[in-house]
Structure 1
Amino acid sequence: MSNVTVIGLGIMGLPMAINLVKAGHSVTGFNRSQDKIDALIAEGGQGATSIADAVKEADVVITMVPDSPDVEGVVSGPEGLFANAKQGTLWIDASSIRPDVAKRLADDAKAAGIRALDAPVSGGEQGAITAALSIMVGGEAAAFEAAQDVLNAVGKTIVHVGPAGSGQTVKAANQLIVAVNIQVLGEAVAFLEAYGVDTDAALKVLGGGLAGSKVLDQKGQKMLDRDFTPGFRLALHHKDMGIVTSAAREANVSLPLGALAAQLVAATVNQGDGGLDHSGLFKQTLQLSGRK
């Protein structure tokens, strides 16, 4: 088993680190808040006092942080991953960042003697807890093969989708699909409620037909209950939709539904709801309909 370091012990990173411990790896965690490190230690992991300390003995380093600048901050500089990890260390970035940044950082990693994979995940908090994440991986095939034991400890559907940056491109497409699905699910729920339909029964039958989806299964009840406890925060989906729209513009691809969904997500975040689960996009639909 490997010495694995996980940097970023948030909603996704902590359960991923715990699953790596359960799989038999020696896991060291680093996070800006000590309570998250303590939670990992309680599950059999170890803690580090800095990024440099966390990566110095690692065979594999996983980063799970919010955005492109955060990843750059972890890997760069005299205290960063590139300057302190062993030659040949495998770096797996599970964050969701811009594809062009992922490609550039992979090149920087190679120059530093570090093998890099961009491996963003889908499945939300529950997928991280149950080790059932879908992982889309970009990078060299040899590095992907070397990462199998670690990736299999945290995910279920693990696919090599192409060279560096490809994983982030596929994740952007994933976030586009999810945002549009959440929006239209919210519209359907508002429509059903307006007509006084038994919404529990309605979602059950819809889920069994062509309208069924993982979004409906995981987010429908949250909308009915008005329970937007975050599994994946709207603020992060807002960031991801910015990645989608920017990358689409660069590729001259028109995303009419995606652009509208991005604006609705932005409006919800701008109204102070960025800390809610992304199913909280439903609040915007209710407001537009004059409903609660």
Structure 2
Amino acid sequence: MQKIGFIGLGIMGSHMAANLVRAGHDVTGYDVVSASVDKLLQAGGKPAPDIASAVSGAEVIITMLPDSPQVSEVVLGPGGVLESAAAGVLLVDMSSIAPETSLAVAAGGAERGVRVLDAPVSGGEQGAIKASLSIMVGGSAEDFEAARQIFEDLGRTIVHVGGHGAGQTVKAANQLMVAGIISLVSEAIVLLEASGVDGERGLEVLAGGLAGNRILDLKSASMLARQFEPGFRIDLHHKDMGIALASARAAGVALPVTGVVAQLVAAARAQGNGSLDHSALLKVVEQLSGR
């Protein structure tokens, strides 16, 4: 059992923090939305009125925030994590952010004697609920081992992928693949339905062959029903596609398919669908098809 300060109790963070409580950890949580903190209290965690209170006395601090600006503000800014964290504490940022922001957080932590890991996750809300997340971890091997039990309480596939920022690079690769697969599933649905084929039966047989994938397993029914309640919002995937393309430019590589898919994500957001689940890319493909 460890004393954990958890900052960021949104769609993902609320379930993750609750799982840590159920695993026997002493979890104190903070979020700018008070209702989110109330959920942690109901799960058996402790509410904190501010960042300093969440961090006070913690052995491990976890942040799960929307984007790089929020991580920079919460961790590096005035009244942030590094101002309150004790030397030797382990900070695990599980947000999906730009690799360069993770490097800045690691550098800031080193100046304060705080150990840092970047550990973004994949698996969506259901993965967070079921503690079945895939966790890609950047940082030192020693710190990875120190956090292993916490990771095992949150996920199933846990891999140390390299030094600081490497976790975020792997997450960028994950996000470009997920968006691409959603786009292709959307195209398959539009083609099947426009051709008079039953979409449910068509996707069932596709899922059993080489075209099978987790998007078909988890999202085909809701996509066919045009139900796009967010598990992961288009707004956030739009941000992640920007990170993927920026990472590609920094590495000097071409991601031609990702460039096209990023435009579909941007179109979905521009059409006012940013708050919907990323499977609502189907709406863009339908519109392009005049359906």
Mapping of residues 1-12 of structure 1, within 5 Å: 1-12=1-12
Deviation at 1:137, TM superposition (A): 0.2
> Partner residue of 1:275?
275
Shift of 1:207: 0.5
Count of residues in correspondence between the two structures: 291
CA distance in 2, matches of 1:241, 1:142: 31
Q: Which runs of 5+ in 2 are unaligned?
A: none
- Equivalent residue, structure 2, for 1:27: 27
3-state SS of paired residue (1:62): strand
* Amino acid in the other structure paired with 2:172: A
Structure-to-structure mapping, 1:94-105, within 5 angstroms: 94-105=94-105
Aligned to 2:204: 204
Moved segments of 4+, more than 2 Å: none
TM superposition shift of 1:219:
1.8
Aligned position for 1:79: 79
3-state SS in 1 of match to 2:151: helix
Residue deviations 1:69-96 (CA, integer Å, cap 9, x gap): 1001111234111110111111110100
Give yes or no for contact 2:76–2:105 (8 Å, CA) kept in 1.
Answer: no
* Structure 2 residue 13 is the aligned partner of structure 1 residue 47: no
Three-state SS of the structure 2 residue aligned to 1:147 is helix
Partner SS for 2:283: helix
Alignment pair present for 1:184 and 2:184: yes
User: Whole-Å Cα distance in 2 between the matches of residues 185 and 211 of structure 1?
Assistant: 9
Q: Name the CA distance, whole Å, in 1 between partners of 2:70 and 2:56.
A: 20
* Structure 1: runs of 5+ lacking an equivalent: none
Residue 158 of structure 2 is aligned to residue 194 of structure 1: no
Superposition pairs of residues 122-271 of structure 1, within 5 angstroms? 122-271=122-271
In the TM superposition, what is the alpha-carbon distance from 1:56 to its structure 2 partner? 1.2
Residue of structure 1 in register with 2:38 after alignment: 38
Structure 1 Cα separation of the partners of residues 164 and 279 of structure 2: 31
Q: Are the counterparts in 1 of residues 4 and 25 from structure 2 also a CA contact under 8 Å?
A: yes
CA offsets 1:244-264 (integer angstroms, 9 cap, x no match) = 111111211111100000011
Distance in 2, Cα, partners of 1:52 & 1:85: 8
| Structure 1 CA distance for aligned equivalents of residues 221 and 6 of structure 2 | 32
CA distance in 2, matches of 1:131, 1:234: 23
Please give the alpha-carbon distance, in whole angstroms, between the structure 2 residues aligned to 1:39 and 1:200. Answer: 36
CA distance in 1, matches of 2:77, 2:118: 20
Q: Deviations over 1:157-178 (max 9, x none)?
A: 0000000000000000000100
Is the contact made by 2:60 and 2:92 (CA closer than 8 Å) also made in structure 1? yes
CA contact (8 A) 2:76 2:108 kept: no
Residue 200 of structure 1: CA displacement? Answer: 1.2
Partners of 2:77 and 2:31 lie apart in 1 by 18
Q: Distance in 2 between matches of 1:80 and 1:277?
A: 31
Distance 1:51 1:13 in 2: 15
TM value normalised by structure 1:
0.98
Question: What's the CA shift string for 1:143-164, capped at 9, x where partnerless?
Answer: 0000011111111100000000
Q: Which amino acid aligns with 2:244?
A: V
Give me the TM-score of the superposition, normalised by structure 2.
0.99
Q: Aligned with 2:197: secondary structure?
A: coil
Aligned to 2:70: 70
Provide the C-alpha distance between the structure 2 equivalents of 1:215 and 1:92, rounded to a whole number of angstroms: 28
Q: Distance in 2 between matches of 1:286 and 1:180?
A: 16
User: Separation in 1 of the partners of 2:8 and 2:146?
Assistant: 22
Q: CA RMSD in A?
A: 0.7
3-state secondary structure, aligned to 1:136: strand
